[in-house]
Amino acid sequence: MLRRMAERKKTTPARIALAWLLAQKPWIVPIPGTRKLERLEENLGAADLQLTPEDLREIESAASRITAQGARYPNTFRSWSVAEESAERTPIVAISEEARRNHDAQFPDQTSTLTRTDPELIEIFDNWAFDEVLRDGTLDARTRLMVQMAALIACQAVNEYRVILGGALNVGVTPIEVKEILYQSVPYVGMAKSFDFLHVTNEVLQSRGIELPLEGQSTTNADTRFEKGLGLQRRLFGDRIDQMYTHSPKDMLHIQKYLSANCFGDYYTRTGLDLKMRELLTFAMIASLGGCEPQLGGHVAANLSVGNDRQALLSAVTQLLPLIGYPRTLNAIRIIDEGTSARSEGSSQ
């Protein structure tokens, strides 16, 4: 990772490492040693290298996935300190074979440092999230990780998003699909919340040798975005859209037009993801935001209209549970119950 960053910044890994140390605390001073003039000049160059907040987060995220190996002192010294003996003891984390297999399939060669510092929590969480929860869902790995990425954007969990993004790319989610998940988030969580995720995504894609920008996916222009967006709204929500226009106060009508032209005309009409997937991702984002139950109810109906049935929605929210917690999950389940019950009653009449 340091080598890739050094290549991007046209410098050396050693300077990146020293610059990272210098950026930690004002009282932290690296003391590199060398007997060669060229190495001394290389080390001194770190003082002029400025790392951005995104650079620092990338380094810290990579470092957090490294498990330290070996003792701090030689064995002959260890008897001098009872505290050192306790610190070097490696806790045993009893992760089930199924949980370990599922974890390694998505995140090969990655071991969290939390297995050392918080072994009981990791044992509880991994056995639940990577074993029990996966047994109770019907989503394939690609769909599950795409839904979780959408939820993490809404939750503003940028560090966990970086990890899940790597797993998604590992199981075959394409760079275009990744970008479209992000773009779909903008009208629902706002650009302010999507901004950092765009930068993280670009860093991860470029670190894998993917050239940006990707191929464009827009299908509308200034002349067509409103009509195409309105048509898509009517397809998803039916007569309710015309009623909203009819009953909207004149001083609020511009919001309805924004929804048609911007939210649906600019974003929903894009290629890269089909409508069924976009609606499932939107459901995941709104459920994860919390406090948006009226909008969530509308998108339960929209999901049903494009073929995402009750089971698909319940499977999605089940896979979100480890990331968003029980309160928002239970609220989403209540909205699913209300939406699917209303549809069943309507079809039986």
User: How many Å apart are CA 45 and CA 16, to the nearest integer?
Assistant: 10
Tell me if 284 sits within 8 A of 150, measured CB to CB.
yes
Tokens representing residue 246 in the block: 């009819």
For the chain, counts of helices (H) and of strands (E): 21, 0
pLDDT of residue 164 exceeding 60, the answer is yes
- Concatenating the DSSP letter of every residue in 213-249 gives SPPP-----TTTHHHHHHHHHHHHHTTHHHHHHHHS-
Percentage of the chain modeled with pLDDT above 90: 66
Domain segments of the chain: what residues? 1-37, 93-135, 141-217+270-348
Q: Which tokens hold the place of 322?
A: 């480890």
pLDDT at residue 69 greater than cutoff 70: no
Residue 128 has which token pair?
């639940």
Least confident of 68-72, 157-161, 234-238, 340-344: 68-72
Q: How far is CA 336 from CA 83, 132, 311, in A?
A: 53, 22, 10
User: Quick one: 141-217+270-348 is in which CATH superfamily?
Assistant: AhpD-like (1.20.1290.10)
At 109-133, the pLDDT tens digits run 777 888 889 999 999 999 999 999 9
Query: 12-30 pLDDT, tens per residue?
Result: 988 888 888 888 877 677 8
Residue that is written with structure tokens 């990338």 in the block: 58
What pLDDT score does 24 carry? 81
pTM of the predicted structure, to 2 decimals: 0.73
pLDDT of residue 60: 82
Asked if the model's pLDDT at residue 80 lies above 50, the reply is: no
Provide the terminal-to-terminal Cα distance of the chain, rounded to the nearest Å: 61
DSSP 75-129: HHHHTT-HHHHHHTPPPP----HHHHHHHHHHSTT---THHHHSHHHHHHHHHII
Compute the distance between CA of residue 61 and CA of residue 102 in angstroms, rounded to an integer: 21
36-71 residues labelled b (16+ CB within 10 A) or e (exposed): eeeeeebbeebeebebeeebebbbebeeeeeeeeee
The DSSP symbol for 347 reads: H
What pLDDT is attached to residue 344? 64
5 or 283, which is more confident: 283
Instruction: Give pLDDT, residue 347.
Output: 55
> What is the average pLDDT across 2-21?
85
The two three-digit tokens of residue 232, written as one number: 């898509």
pLDDT surpassing 70 at residue 72? no
Whether the pLDDT of residue 78 is over 70: the answer is no
What is the chain's mean pLDDT, rounded? Answer: 89
**What confidence category does residue 5 fall into, taking pLDDT thresholds of 50, 70 and 90?**
confident
Lookup: tokens for 140: 């394939």
High-pLDDT (> 70) share of the chain, %: 90
Residue 99 has pLDDT above 50, yes or no: yes
Give Cβ neighbours of residue 2 (< 8 Å, ≥ 6 apart). Answer: 13, 16, 17, 59
Cβ–Cβ under 8 Å, residues 264 and 298 = no
Q: Could you tell me the sign of the dihedral formed by the alpha carbons of 65, 154, 273, 263, in that order?
A: negative
The pLDDT-based confidence of 300 (bands split at 50, 70, 90) is: very high
Q: What is the pLDDT of residues 169-211, one digit of tens each?
A: 999 999 999 999 999 999 999 999 999 999 999 999 999 999 9
Q: What is the pLDDT of residue 345?
A: 61
238 Cβ contact list (under 8 Å, min separation 6): 305
Distance CA 289, CA 280 (A): 14
